[in-house]
Structure 1
């Protein structure tokens, strides 16, 4: 079994140094970005460092956003990661990547309470989820046997999928989210 670390990280850099051809920065977990300062970024690098004031995250991993982000936004992602169950972080990222999610405030940070409401789990396929749902609500239990036998499960599952967002899971199967 392969264990993959899904902790969101950023590479904050001194923007002045970066713009002047010096790569001054370090990888930091998003949960620890509050400890990043201009001084801490320059530890171990030779100066002079006049004009160094702005920190900008020029790279990231395990975040469902594209491009560069600010240090404050990285910190909000760290807060989100701490609020989420670490095992569910890939599902949180998939939900945001789907574009069919509820953001907290004005940025890309997802509302974790909305995630908990929307997330239906990881399944081998959407059909597996639909089958479990039908059994859980006893969909056909009170139907006559002949009606049960001729019920079109494939069409029902296909129609049910319109109420859900389904995203591929990185380790196989799919994540299922109820549309908000």
Structure 2
């Protein structure tokens, strides 16, 4: 069974035999990442072998959440975690993982990301204004269109807001905003 992310990306890994690598030979092949933990040394060699250890030496399609080498089981676990991401979530998810993705909580990364992600915004001031409008009462929203509300320095307001729990990460053309737990 192959898991393609809803981004259309199929995470894949190049799995190699460590015994062959240590002997100066490169023996391996590309596999779908979600089945990497099922690959055996016999699969790589095409015959019985006394070699035991396999290692992911290259990878693609992991939205930036896998850096360097890893075990085949780790690659399969990450592919499963990523399977639920939408195309719009891939880039901000990668930014979130870099700052908040605790390795011990991988199974819950997508769930936590969705709880903490507050969207893409032009800048922190833009987010502060939208957040104020979205969290105000309906009767306050009409008043927010006139003075003094329309004269608020939203960049200054954002400084207060972002010193109290919100966090932003630079993104092309703006920022991703998170409210980590």
Q: Same fold (TM over 0.5)?
A: yes
Deviates more, 1:123-132 or 1:10-19: 123-132
TM-score by length of 1: 0.75
Question: Take 2:88 and 2:36, find their aligned partners in 1: how far apart are those partners?
Answer: 22
Change (3 A) 1:153 1:127: closer
**Structure 1 ranges of 4+ moved more than 6 A:** none
Aligned residue in 2 for 1:60: 59
- Runs (5+) with no aligned partner, structure 1: none
Question: 1:70 offset after TM fit, Å?
Answer: 0.9
1:89 maps to 90
Matches within 5 A, 1:21-170: 21-43=24-46, 50-61=49-60, 62=62, 63-98=64-99, 100-101=100-101, 103=103, 106=104, 110-138=108-136, 141=141, 142=143, 145-162=146-163, 163-169=165-171
List runs of 5+ in structure 2 lacking aligned partners.
1-6
* TM-score, normalised with respect to structure 2: 0.74
Higher helix share: 2
Q: CA deviation at 1:73?
A: 0.8
- In 1, distance between residues paired with 2:8 and 2:122? 22
Are the equivalent residues in 2 in contact too, given 1:16–1:51 (CA < 8 A)? no
